[in-house]
Amino acid sequence: MPPPPAPSPPKPVARVDTGPVPKPSEAPQIAPPKSEPIVKDLDAITADGTLRVLFTFNSTGYFIYRGETMGYEYELLNAFARDSRLKLKPVVVRDSNELFEKLNRGEGDVVAAQLAATADQQEVAQTAGLYETAPVVVQRGADAPAAGSTPTVKEALAREKKETTPSNITIRARLIAKPSELAGQRVHLPRVSPYRGRLVELNAGLADDIEVVEVDESSDKLIQRLSEGEIGFTVAAENLAQMRAGEYTNLIVKPAIGPPQPIVWALRRNAPQLLAALNRWIEAKRKASLLAVLYRKYFLDRRGFDKRATSPYLTTETGTLSAFDDAFREYAKIPGWDWRLVAAQAYQESRFDPNAHSWAGATGLMQIMPRTARSLKVNPRDPRASVEGACRYLWQMDSAWKSIANEDERIKFILASYNVGTGHVQDAVRLAEKFGDDPKSWDDVAYWLVRKSKRNVYNDPVVKHGYARGTEPVAYVDQILGRFENYRQFVEEAPATGVGGLEARPPHLLARFTITAASTITPTPAAAANITCCCCFDVVTRPRSFSGCGARPWRKSSSRPSKTSTRSASISVIQCDSLPSPN
């Protein structure tokens, strides 16, 4: 990097924030946890089967990109959980000042938030270091707009600035070449920045105080604001700052204000078993080069970082999972599901690739089998049609599993049926019932589904569909629901009137009808021109009655008429009784 230009005469620093600014010695420390740590060590975590990790959003540690959960710390902890036969449950903490309090209360077992090790830490235990990075001053080297953003990103940033920034003042601060030149300057830090203490030490030897503004924003966000001219200085980890400088080319990442510090995870101080297990695992993986491989992936691969940073599918920044989010939002209303759950299933099926094709013949975004596509009358190669057909099929299977009253449990049965076929899941239900397990509990049914690969099990008299490689549908359900939980934390559910009710159905699935008798449905005069069966999509025109496929009204309607009712339903759709086989 060329040397910085000669310092220009100091200019008055325009201040956007109002009110007194604390000096480092007066700025509040991270709030110590109010609660004493609960007693929960590795033995209890193992018995529970779940490792809960407290994450904060950032561009290298924990984020979602093109539907996949990623991040240096996420991948490491996911590998640790897998090696320990545990399920990883990410818990996003939006107010980073609450990390240690939530840890002590048992809402998480590990804090993974790019924490720098401190020698005087008394509140929590710290693991061995994952890597080391130095604290550096990040400053703006030019008044030109930041480079590296796409037109869409620039438009979004302009809108954000217009709607959220109280003034359009641009901060112009003289460049500094050594840490002592921060005297009299305002430095913005994340509220839980590990580098605040270093600024305090630096400030002690200066004639003029460093003014510190601590905000509940990530270093990523502060670097973006700095590049756009909203703030003058921040202090960040050198490896992160260097990566961001590849996106925002007007940044200068120097000088360092201290030596490299280890980045660690935090645990409750009364969890020695977990601490020892994590430290052993970290050292083993360090020797096996896993830490170095992941460090290269997230901190040295600038091309990959820039690609993620400028992508509309970096969900942490854009709130967008894929190019098909609108279709998920629209058609998830058919089965009454959260659209993010349908998106999680789509990722599991095709990784959001509408051209995906499996060895078994499944095609498209939702991997619909040819026979099912024909019965649904959809073109699975068309992404919207694929999502629509899959959601209609999910709705049909909802009826097949109506005996499972608990909706969360029923969704698991439906997902497994989508993957392996309803018949195999029904076999597992019968096995569970025969051998004294709960046939309405997914955990019990999953056990028997896994066992259906054993000869003595698939030859049992209650089994009607033979051998099944049951580990696949069970893992399929776990992976989709785990991904769904991640999506829920990154993406808000767009409000939709009547989600889960008839009024939320797509317009072409809505019609007025009167049920007269024996599943014969006659359109009322209020119907525009026809009724469409959402299963076979046969069109029934007025005034002819419709009973050709044994249609029935959608059973989830809060005011659903029965098949023998003579009253008119205000809005509804009709559905075939004959459900196509998933395979």
Cβ distance 427 to 452 under 8 Å?
Answer: yes
| Interatomic CA distance for residues 152 and 145, integer angstroms | 15
Q: Give 397-400's long-range contacts (Cβ < 8 A, gap of 24+).
A: 397/422, 397/579, 397/582, 398/335, 398/336, 398/556, 399/555, 399/575, 399/579, 400/579
Catalytic residue, candidates 73, 228, 317, 349 = 349
The verdict on whether omega for the bond into residue 543 sits within 30 degrees of 0, i.e. cis, is yes
Q: Residues 91, 1: contact at Cβ < 8 Å?
A: no
Q: Which helix (H) or strand (E) holds 523?
A: strand 520-523
Tell me the residue length of the chain: 583
Other CB atoms within 10 Å distance of the CB of residue 43: 10
Amino acid type, 503: E
Angle between helices 422-434 and 407-420 (to 10 degrees): 120
List CB contacts of 544: < 8 A, sequence separation 6 or more.
none
Residue 566 CA: distances (Å) to CA of 148, 546, 556, 560: 65, 15, 19, 12
Q: Could you tell me if 473 and 420 are in contact, meaning their C-beta atoms sit under 8 angstroms apart? A: yes
Pair 462, 307: CB distance under 8 Å: no
Give the whole-angstrom CA distance, residue 17 versus residue 249. Answer: 26
Residue 101 known to be catalytic: no
How many whole angstroms separate alpha carbon 421 and alpha carbon 430?
A: 15
175 and 139 in contact (C-beta within 8 Å)? yes
Cβ–Cβ < 8 Å for 371, 581? yes
How far apart CA 463 and CA 477 sit, in angstroms, is 22
3-class DSSP state for residue 62? strand
Return the SS3 of 512.
Answer: strand
What's the CA gap between 246 and 157, in Å, rounded?
A: 18
- Catalytic residue ranges: 349
